[in-house]
Amino acid sequence: MTIGKITPKRYKCKRCGHETVQSTNHYGSTWSWGHVNTCAKCPPWAKYPEFGGSTVWICQEPEPVAVNN
């Protein structure tokens, strides 16, 4: 996984497929923290911790290939 400059990237909800844009410094998955960064399209039981849910976001951007010069 490449870590670098913070840039906006497309992410997809692992549960329902809803897409959004998040600014991250990597190309790996992200997840919700309490009510922060939850999926807008998933039902409450699937995304809020008080119901046992959470959101996992999968990056849809291809990770750049590192080139050594």
Question: How does pLDDT run across 1-14, given as a tens digit for each residue?
Answer: 556 799 999 999 99
Give the structural domain span for 15. 1-27
Total tally of structural domains belonging to the chain: 1
Residue 20 lies in a domain: yes
> Which amino acid is present at 8?
P
**CB atoms inside a 10 Å sphere around CB 69:** 2
Residue 22 lies in a domain: yes
Residue 68 lies in a domain: no
Residue 8 lies in a domain: yes
Mean pLDDT of 33-62: 96
Residue 63 lies in a domain: no
pTM of the model: 0.86
What's the sign of the alpha-carbon dihedral 58, 41, 50, 35? Answer: positive
Which pLDDT does position 67 carry in this prediction?
Answer: 65
- DSSP calls for 29-44: -EE-BTTBT--SSS-H
